Amino acid sequence: METPQRNLALDLVRVTEAAALASARWLGKGDKQNGDQAAVDAMRLSFNALDIQGRIVIGEGEKDKAPMLFNGEAVGTGQGPAVDVAVDPVEGTNLLAYGRPNAIAVVGVAPAGTMYDPGPSYYMQKLVVPSAAKNGVDLDAPVGENLKTIAKALGKDVDDLVVFVLDKPRHQDLIAAIRETGARIQLHTDGDVAGALMAVDPESEVDVMMGTGGTPEGVLSACAIRALGGQMLARLDPQKEAERIALEERGIDTTAILDVHSLVGSEDVFFAATGISGGTFLPGVAYKGTGASTHSLVLRGRSGTVRRIASSHRWDKLMRFSAVQYD
């Protein structure tokens, strides 16, 4: 038996809370650039207080030229464990800009060298299921066959299932195939990290996520999926010729099927997410004049511990020393 070890996720939640508090000021203002920048600045400052030797493996923003915590950037004090870091200061920048639900601030951490580096890949086909359904699903199986397998594992009928799908033109055939089975669908414009989390969260009404979303978001999601015991089957799915050529030049096999263990090669993972705009997954930031409240999900892979943290933040105390202008 071991004495309790440091739970980095409890440090990471301060990072996601800072990003959420800073970016939520931009909710519904139609300016995703400044909303994202506020989250990035707050997250970077918060990382400076963490005793880790961190390296950003999964940064954000390359796809849409947003402000970034750059891939390869060092974060932390340079003391403590060497870790790979995956970040998305605002997962769902459009959701934040237009005041839509399920924008979240997210961080995942794993031991150095264990996190999959997607290189120039932007898009990935994904199938995400909870722990009870992780055996028997097949990325190449027909949609109906996978849904029957999942329903049986969960003790449900197929028409009881709820499938999370991004509402994109590329998913027209997928949506039609799901509807043909009788399963129900939640269509979301953005936010496939939140979708993956909902698929493995026993408290969510979502049972499975299907379709093609972001590759960086897939690796980030895998930190949480591994901690929760679920499964993600994935394959790189370039959507443009330039992306396909870049992957080919790097010698990356776009036919290989990846799973959650391929994406994060250690169970010693830590994950934190804080709601920004609220919605079906996590309540958003609520400002109260003298402060604010936040809600977060905090996971430790090795112990399987899941924490849901509701926090109150007081401007009169916090702004005495904080470099982030929350109020």
Contact indicator for 9, 17 with CB cutoff of 8 Å? no
H/E segment holding residue 289: none
Instruction: Output the six-digit token pair for 140.
Output: 């190449």
The 3-state secondary structure of 105-132 reads EEEEEEECCCECCCCCCCEEEEEEECHH
In angstroms, the CA 325 to CA 276 distance is: 16
Contact indicator for 204, 162 with CB cutoff of 8 Å? no
- 217 marked as part of a ligand binding site: yes
- 92 marked as part of a ligand binding site: yes
- Biggest CA–CA distance in the chain, Å, is 58
Contact indicator for 130, 137 with CB cutoff of 8 Å? no
Contact indicator for 291, 315 with CB cutoff of 8 Å? yes
- 190 marked as part of a ligand binding site: yes
> Cα angle at 221 between 267 and 176, to 5 degrees?
130
- 170 marked as part of a ligand binding site: yes
- 88 marked as part of a ligand binding site: yes
In angstroms, the CA 53 to CA 79 distance is: 6
- Residue position matching structure tokens 């920004």: 276
- 213 marked as part of a ligand binding site: no
In angstroms, the CA 144 to CA 160 distance is: 14
In angstroms, the CA 299 to CA 307 distance is: 6
Contact indicator for 269, 286 with CB cutoff of 8 Å? no
Contact indicator for 294, 313 with CB cutoff of 8 Å? yes
Residue 258's DSSP bridge partners are 234
- 192 marked as part of a ligand binding site: yes
Binding positions for substrate? 91-93, 123, 168-170, 190-192, 214
Binding positions? 36, 60, 88, 91-93, 123, 168-170, 190-192, 214, 217
Binding positions for Mn(2+)? 36, 60, 88, 91, 217
